[in-house]
Copies of this chain bind each other. A is one copy, B any other.
């Protein structure tokens, strides 16, 4: 399957893909091995060049692949992928690999496509993708499980991200997921505009 709605996002606008706080999927690959996991704890940390931060537990295989390759992908899944997000967030890719049963992509029939810059696979069916290069910060990584990355390429589904803004109206099936705990997610709603108040 090819996603005909995927369009490049200018790097200066890439932070907006994560600004509203969606749960993301993090993928990484190294020397033929690949993995993908869910991460509720990610955040933009700079505009241009765009930078991101994500917490990756020491037990995760994605973290090891990312540390080895120095690159990763953050992608934004949608409400119809809730089971998939819960699954790749619960199942250990390393355990699968050690059991010889193939990786998560094979086991769950996940379709992916290659990035333009990094080796990690990009998952079909998401609404945003950010290819990232690791910014090595060993103290943050070891002490806080916190990984920083520079976004080097970004894309979004033009049906819901247009002119630098999300608008999910008319596309309920493409709304982003926001994890609470234990597979319980909130789904993003519609827009509202805030305007500056006059002083009292």
A→B interface (CB under 8 Å): 16, 19-23, 40-46, 51, 53, 55, 79, 82-87, 90-91, 101, 106-109, 139-140, 144-146, 148, 164-166, 168, 175, 177-181, 183-197, 199-200
| Inter-subunit contact B41/A43 (CB<8 Å) | yes
A106 to B199, CA, bound (A): 9
Q: Which residues of B contact A178 (CB under 8 A)?
A: 19-21, 178, 188
Q: Which residues of B contact A187 (CB under 8 A)?
A: 189-192
Count this chain's copies in the assembly. 2
Q: Which of A139, A186, A187, A200 gathers the greatest number of chain B CB atoms within 10 Å?
A: A186
| Inter-subunit contact B190/A186 (CB<8 Å) | yes
A45 to B175, CA, bound (A): 25
Q: Which residues of B contact A44 (CB under 8 A)?
A: 40-41, 55
| Inter-subunit contact A42/B45 (CB<8 Å) | no
| Inter-subunit contact B90/A45 (CB<8 Å) | no
Contact of A181 with B193 at beta-carbon distance under 8 Å, contacts A53-B43, A199-B107 already known: no
Q: List 30 A-B contacts (CB under 8 A).
A: A19-B41, A21-B22, A21-B23, A40-B44, A42-B43, A43-B53, A45-B146, A53-B146, A82-B192, A83-B197, A84-B194, A90-B196, A101-B199, A107-B200, A109-B200, A165-B181, A168-B186, A175-B189, A177-B192, A180-B191, A183-B195, A185-B191, A185-B193, A186-B189, A186-B190, A187-B190, A187-B192, A188-B188, A188-B189, A189-B189
Contact of A55 with B43 at beta-carbon distance under 8 Å, contacts A180-B165, A181-B164, A186-B191 already known: yes
Measured CB to CB, the nearest residue on chain B to A101 is B199
